[in-house]
Amino acid sequence: MKYVYPAILIPVGNGYSVEVPDLPGCCTCGKSLADALKMAEDATSMWLWDAENKKEIIPSASRTLNADAPQFVNFIVADTDAYRKEHDSRAVKKTVSIPNWLNTQAEKANAPFSQILQEGLKQYLRLEATH
């Protein structure tokens, strides 16, 4: 599901603090404007994804929101379907092909195929181990 919510961006040093008033407790920050907007999209998507999962009522987005300078308002687009796809940690079954000799050696060693494939893919994609 796609949502759009207004957010208040507050300059703090070289970065920004971000608040999404329609979503209680939804706030974040970034080291630059681009980083703050990316973090706001992530925080908003996570807030909404969690509410969807818990079957909670999703608050309506305000049509207008005011901010006093140097603060300003920007709209944040949140796509919970994309967020869910990226952060869903449920296992997905994949069929892979390896040479028979390698399979024989791995089975003799009681190799944990799924774990090895996951670790290898994370290394290949240069993803952090916490993902």
Instruction: Check pLDDT > 60 for residue 88.
Output: yes
pLDDT of residue 101: 95
Report the share of the chain in percent with pLDDT over 90: 82
C-alpha–C-alpha distance, residues 44 and 114, integer Å: 32
Of residues 104, 81, 106, 100, the one with CA closest to residue 120: 106
C-alpha–C-alpha distance, residues 23 and 60, integer Å: 9
Quickly name the fold that domain 2-87 has.
Double Stranded RNA Binding Domain (3.30.160)
In the chain, where the domains are located: 2-87, 91-131
- pLDDT tens by residue, 35-72: 999 999 999 999 999 999 999 999 999 998 999 999 99
C-alpha–C-alpha distance, residues 109 and 27, integer Å: 49
Residue 70, preceding peptide bond in cis (omega within 30° of 0): yes
pLDDT band of residue 129 (cuts 50, 70, 90) is: low
pLDDT of residue 130: 56
